[in-house]
Amino acid sequence: MKILSATDGSKYGRWAMEWLAEIPFAVQPVVRVLHIVDAASLRAPFMIQPVIVGTERYIQSEVKRMETAAKATKKESESLLSTLGLSGTVTTDHGAVAATIMKHAQRGVGLLSIGSRGLDALDRFMLGSISNHAIHHAPCSVLVVKEPPRPVRHLVLAVDGSAASDKAVKFVMRTINPTPDGPDREPVLVTLVHAMPFLKYPEVKEVGKGLVQRSGDKLAKSGFQIREAVRLGKPADEILTVAKKNKADLIVTGAKGLGAIGRVLLGSVSTRVVQHAHCGVLVVR
C-alpha cells in the first residue's frame, strides 16, 4: 500500500510518520512524505500591490525562511524514515496546503497520515484546518494522529451494518497483521462497538448483536482477538467512551454510516469521533 504522510515540521508531522512504524501492517507500505511551501498564504487576497511600505521586503524574507525550513524538514524527514525502517521518499511541493495534499493523495495513495494539528493550532480538540479538510475530502482513507506513537495492539472498530462499516472491517482484515509479534504472542485485540439510541427495544438490540457477531466472526477467522460492545446511547459518545475506558491505541471508523448523504460529507458520528478522541482515528474510505 502507498501511504502519503503530510508534515509541516511540527511534532504532529513527525508523529504522523512515526505512527506508521507502530501500526502492524500486513505488508510493508511505501511511504511518501510530503512537505508543502505555501508562499501565497503570506499575501492577503486583496494584496495585488504592496499596500504598506516594507511589506514586499517582509514577504520575500519570509519566503526565504520558508524555503530554508523546507530543506531542513526534508533532511529531517529522510533521516526519520531511515531510523524508523520505513521504505519511501520525501517530496517538497509548492502551493495551497490542503489542495496540494489532495492532489498528491489522488496518485494511487491508499492511506493519508496527517497530524491533528500543526504549528498554528491552539487546542487539541479543535482539528487543524488542514486535517479537517483531509478527513472530509481525501479520496483515500485518512489516519489522524493526535499523540506520540506507541505500538498498536488494541483497535476499537465501529460497526453499524452500513457499507462504510463493512469497508472498515475489510480494511482491518486486509491491512493489519493480527499477530505482529509471532504466533506465540497475544494477537491484536479488536473491540467491536455498536451503539444505538434505541437498543432498549429487544428486537433492535438483537439486530445490533448480530451485526457485531458477524463482523467479529470474520475478524476472528483472520486471527484477531475479539471483544464485543453493544451499547445503548449516542453512537459517537459510546465509541469514545469504550475507546477511552479500554485505553485503545486506535479507533477505526467508516467515512460515513447509515443515513449519510454523500461521500464528501463525513458522517456526523465519524466527525465527532475524530474531533474528540483521546487517540488517533483511522477513517476508512
How many CB atoms are closer than 10 A to CB 285? 20
* Residue 40, pLDDT score: 74
Indicate whether 132 pLDDT > 60: yes
What b-and-e string marks burial along 33-62, b requiring 16 or more CB atoms within 10 Å of the CB?
bbbbbbeeeeeeeeeeeeeeeeeeeeeeee
- Give CB contacts under 8 A, 24+ apart, made by 258-261: 258/160, 258/161, 258/162, 260/162, 260/164
- 187 in the same domain as 242: yes
Residue in this structure with the C-alpha cell 493489519, named with its chain if needed: 176
Q: Once rounded to an integer, what is the mean pLDDT over residues 47-76?
A: 77
CATH code, domain carrying 278? 3.40.50.620
Confidence band (pLDDT; 50, 70, 90) for 52?
Answer: low
Number of alpha carbons in the 13 Å side-chain half-sphere of residue 215 = 33
Report which of 251, 284, 277 is spatially closest to residue 158, judged by C-alpha positions: 251
DSSP code of residue 138: -
C-alpha cell at position 63: 519566503
Which has the minimum average pLDDT: 140-149, 197-206, 208-217? Answer: 197-206
d(CA 36, CA 103): 12
Residues 116 and 241 in one domain: no
Give the rounded percent of residues in the chain with a pLDDT score beyond 70: 85
Pair (109, 202) in one structural domain:
no
Domain boundary (96, 112, 145) is at: 145
Query: In this predicted model, what pLDDT tens digit does every residue of 2-23 receive, in sequence order?
Result: 999 999 998 999 999 999 999 9
For residues 218 and 83, membership in a common domain is answered with no
CA dist., res. 129 & res. 11, Å (int): 17
| Same domain for 53 and 130 | yes
Q: What is the mean pLDDT of residues 55-83?
A: 89
Asked if 72 and 117 sit in the same domain, the reply is yes
Q: What is the mean pLDDT of the chain?
A: 87
Based on the fold, state whether residues 160 and 141 are members of the same structural domain. no
* Domain hosting residue 138, numbered range: 2-145
Give Dmax (Cα) for the chain: 72
Query: Do residues 20 and 108 share a domain?
Result: yes
CB proximity list for 209: less than 8 A, separation 6 or greater: 194, 228, 230
- Mean pLDDT for 202-231 is 91
Residues 129 and 205 in one domain: no
User: Distance (Å, rounded) from C-alpha 20 to C-alpha 273?
Assistant: 21
According to the model, what pLDDT value does residue 17 have?
98
What is d(CA 19, CA 17) in angstroms, rounded to the nearest whole number?
A: 6
pLDDT band at 125 (very low <50, low <70, confident <90, very high): very low
Q: Which of 108, 124, 145 is the last residue of a domain?
A: 145
Query: Would you state the pLDDT for residue 270?
Result: 86
Same domain, 209 and 125: no
Whole-angstrom distance, CA of residue 261 vs CA of residue 47? 38
- What percent of the chain is predicted at pLDDT more than 90? 63
* Per-residue pLDDT at 263 exceeds 60: no
- Show the cell assigned to 126: 479543535
More reliable by pLDDT, 233 or 112: 112
Confidence check: pLDDT of 103 > 60:
yes
If one counts the domains in the chain, the total is: 2
- Are 98 and 175 in the same domain? no
Are residue 140 and residue 201 in the same domain, yes or no? no
Q: How far is CA 3 from the centre of its chain?
A: 11
pLDDT: is 269 or 112 the higher one? 112
Indicate the pLDDT class of residue 259, thresholds 50, 70 and 90. very low
Select from 145, 167, 201 the last residue of a domain.
145
Task: Dump pLDDT digits (tens) for 23-43.
Answer: 999 999 999 999 999 877 766
The DSSP letter of residue 35 is: E
Closest to 189 (Cα-Cα) out of 220, 166, 160, 210: 220
